[in-house]
């Protein structure tokens, strides 16, 4: 690290759990963020501010006025702009040294097959069940840790699925990919504005812990938040022996 980096990341370097070695791991890391909306905004901003060397943003949507109530990477002046470009601009305004790659498209199997072999962590900040299952399956195939978050109304959840660890559940162990649940979108049900900030920030925290090797990730745990009362519930997760995704993984 150069002198400017030592100063920029000094508050991380002061932490015994991170230090210079952990910060250097962040600078050398590549994080893939699927979704640049409510969850992806705070997640990507914190990854960039913390010095993750390369961030790939995937989203096919553009900034809409209704997004501004909660999607903090975007601004009034960028309404109509691609969300990935808007988020990239916001990240680089805070840390111009970060490499931010943008893909204005939906995450599909072909894209994930190309990206994940060179990724160190994946953050699922998407808003639909099919994409979550697709991202999970790709992470299992390529043995990449997945930080999964979701939020709707006043309810949220976050977990880490790490196929590198024996016995670690994957997303499909908990949420059956054969099911077709009715999509619950904030466009029809609403979402409490700070809730996505809470969950997206937690996703960034878990990703930074994984990358820097600091602390204990949420692997094998599911945290659920009821923001009406600000009460957290923690569940233990285990790998399902008959899981159609990780149960058949080689």
pLDDT tens sequence for the chain (250 residues): 999 999 999 999 999 999 999 999 999 999 999 999 999 999 999 999 999 999 999 999 999 999 999 999 999 999 999 999 999 999 999 999 999 999 999 999 999 999 999 999 999 999 999 999 999 999 999 999 999 999 999 999 999 999 999 889 999 999 999 887 666 666 678 999 999 999 999 999 999 999 999 999 999 999 999 999 999 999 999 999 999 999 865 4
Predicted confidence at residue 7, as pLDDT, reads 96
Predicted pLDDT of residue 198: 98
User: Residue 188's pLDDT is what?
Assistant: 73
Q: Does the reported pTM lie above 0.75? A: yes
Q: Where in the chain are the domains?
A: 3-248
The pLDDT score that the predictor gives to residue 22 is 98
End-to-end CA distance of the chain: 39
The CA-atom distances, in angstroms, between 108 and each of 93, 135, 158, 208 are: 29, 8, 22, 25
The rounded distance, in Å, linking the Cα atoms of 145 and 157 is 17
Q: Is 246 a catalytic residue?
A: no
Is the domain 3-248 a CATH 3.40.50.150 member? no
> SS3 sequence, 75-133?
CHHHCCCEHHHHHHHHHHHHCCCCEEEEECCCCCHHHHHHHHHHCCEEEECCCCHHHHH
DSSP-derived 3-state class of residue 19: helix
Catalytic residue among 125, 170, 186, 243: 186
Alpha carbon of residue 127 to chain centroid: 12
Report pLDDT for 27.
98
Token pair for residue 114? Answer: 């190309």
Owner of token pair 């923001």: 227
């Amino acid at each position: 690290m150069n002198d400017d980096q030592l100063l920029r990341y000094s508050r991380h370097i002061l932490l015994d759990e991170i230090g210079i070695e952990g910060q250097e791991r962040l600078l050398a890391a590549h994080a893939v963020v699927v979704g640049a909306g409510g969850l992806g905004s705070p997640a990507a901003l914190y990854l960039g501010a913390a010095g993750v060397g390369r961030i790939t943003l995937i989203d096919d949507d553009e900034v809409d006025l209704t997004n501004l109530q909660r999607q903090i990477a975007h601004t009034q002046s960028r309404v109509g702009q691609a969300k990935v470009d808007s988020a990239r601009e916001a990240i680089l305004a805070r840390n111009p040294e970060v490499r931010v790659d943008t893909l204005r498209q939906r995450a599909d199997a072909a894209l994930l097959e190309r990206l994940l072999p060179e990724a160190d962590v994946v953050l699922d900040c998407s808003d639909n069940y099919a994409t979550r299952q697709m991202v999970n399956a790709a992470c299992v195939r390529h043995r990449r840790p997945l930080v999964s978050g979701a939020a709707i109304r006043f309810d949220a959840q976050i977990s880490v699925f790490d196929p590198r660890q024996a016995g670690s559940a994957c997303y499909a162990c908990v949420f059956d990919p054969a099911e077709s649940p009715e999509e619950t979108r904030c466009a029809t049900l609403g979402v409490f504005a700070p809730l996505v900030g809470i969950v997206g920030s937690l996703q960034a925290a878990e990703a930074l812990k994984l990358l820097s090797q600091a602390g204990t990730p949420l692997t094998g745990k599911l945290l659920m938040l009821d923001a009406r009362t600000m009460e957290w519930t923690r569940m233990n997760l285990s790998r399902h022996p008959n899981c159609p995704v990780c149960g058949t993984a080689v």
